[in-house]
Amino acid sequence: MGKYSEVFVGIDTAKKKNALAIANAGRDGETRYLGEIDTAPATVERVIKKLASKYEKVRVCYEAGPRGHGLNRQIITLVLALSSTIN
């Protein structure tokens, strides 16, 4: 299976779990709630890398606030580590 072009990832941050949803690009793109994931950096990294392997561009947004700042730093670090484009 080839890569899709672009996906938008929304993350609602919390202390123990992050809620995760994705939307395919385009006006008719499908939107899916993927569920909750652990807030551990290894879990977040695994999910982002998995999405980056399926899509050419992964655009990430998250809830701003005290929990979002650490997630922001982690996503920026992943951007530098991965060859895919993650915004």
Which tokens sit at 54? 């399926």
Q: Exposed e or buried b for every residue in 57-78, given b needs 16+ CB within 10 A?
A: bbbbebeeeebbeebeeebeeb
Q: What is the pTM of this model?
A: 0.81
- Can you tell me which residue has the tokens 């709630």? 33
| Residue 7: its H or E element | strand 4-12
| Residue 50: its H or E element | helix 41-54
pLDDT tens digit string along 10-64? 999 988 999 999 999 888 889 999 999 999 999 999 999 999 889 988 899 988 7
Please, what are the domains in the chain?
4-86 (3.30.420.140)
